[in-house]
Amino acid sequence: MASISVFGLGYVGCVGIACLAKLGHKVVGCDVDESKVRRIAKGLPTIVERDVDEVMLEGFKAGLISATTSPMEAVSKTNISFLCVGTPNAPDGRLDTTYLMSAVKSIAEAIRSKSTFHIVVIRSTVPPGTNAAAIELIEKISGKREGVNFAVASNPEFLREGMAVADYLNPPLTVIGCESRRALDTLRNLYSTLGSEIVEVEPKVAEIIKFVNNSYHALKVTFGNEIGAICKKLDIDSHSVMNLFCKDTQLNISPYYFKPGFAYGGSCLPKDLRGLNFLAESNQVDVPVLSSIENSNNEHIKRVLNRVQEIGVRSVGIIGLTFKAGTDDLRNSAAIRLAEGVLGKGCSLSIYDRYLNIARETETNLRELNKRIPHLLPLLVKDVEDVVESTSLVIITVRNPEIPELVRKYPEIHFLDLVRMKDPSVETLPNYEGFCW
């Protein structure tokens, strides 16, 4: 049994108290709002939420739940403090951590007089860097050392309102971002009975994942509604369409395509996206999300070109010109647009593409090559090392097994990787740069 204090008795804190008690832990709720404290102290929830009433009452009757307005009392009675304080949007959109840092300050003052190790767990959604700021504030106020006397962990919650108790007790995964092994082991043990995967990450990763999750969820709702609006105009059952869409767990509902890297291209994605946007426009359906996808893709190509300018070289090499590895297909290739952009900025350019070289040698698709890239064909070289030897910057658009050794062999050449080669020994070298990681 752990002894836990929960700061903030709103939605997340209330559910947390009830569920932690359900798991058999002794929990002390703490809040500046006396009315909330009184309710928790009587075993009553502070919110209306499915199942929380009975779970809270069960924990209260077992003698596992109490509450106080005193941070000193809450911290002194426990060895773990969960921060569930609200972090509302400020007028400019940022998350306001004023209330949270006020709670951190109160906890720090209590830690100052403690002789035992104390763990502060941030459950609130916070901007990246909040964990580090909390550590700095606690060290300053308490005079104690992080990792020796206390630790701060970022442990975001993934609760759906209306399903919060069920989600707490059956999470898809448990994310913990912390620099202290001692704290990580304690929290692992705390959550071990839930049965979900426990993932240890850097604090900033744990801090940003909630933003990413909820933004994607918002995107899913909006995407589904835009598809529904188009289908309605075309007298198509949108639910039948989206049910079919969700049956594909190999590409649609899967990790596929979710790797930050370079822009999309090819014969299918650009063509069908434009076709769907045309259907919407021709039927007077405004679809801001669908219509912005191509613009976003174009901006990503511009980011690469801007980075080339920032690096400030005059000779550039590109490895990979087709729209993806394993094909000689050049249709809507983002790499071609990148190559043209590099030339447009006045840089010299050399290109290596294994599959285009095969196509030239076998005269396969030769007419198509001469039609699409007559201005780039003279820049193709036969060997990947020829690109490296003749340039100051090499841009990698496709994975190639020879590249890691070339990065090691040519430390004076800057390698800009757009696809991530997944070679840890290369990623630490000073002449290697991952574009989106």
Catalytic residues: 268
Contact 158/167 with Cβ under 8 angstroms?
A: yes
Residue 268: how many other CB atoms lie within 10 Å: 12
Contact 27/5 with Cβ under 8 angstroms?
A: yes
DSSP summary character for residue 156: -
Contact 82/76 with Cβ under 8 angstroms?
A: no
Contact 82/118 with Cβ under 8 angstroms?
A: no
- 60 sits in which H/E element: helix 52-61
Tokens at 381, concatenated: 């070289």
Strands, sheet with 3-7, edge to edge from the N-terminal-most edge strand: 65-68, 26-30, 3-7, 80-83, 118-122, 150-154, 173-177, 197-201
Name the nearest CA neighbour of 64 among 31, 27, 18, 37.
27
Sign of the alpha-carbon dihedral angle for 111, 112, 114, 117: positive
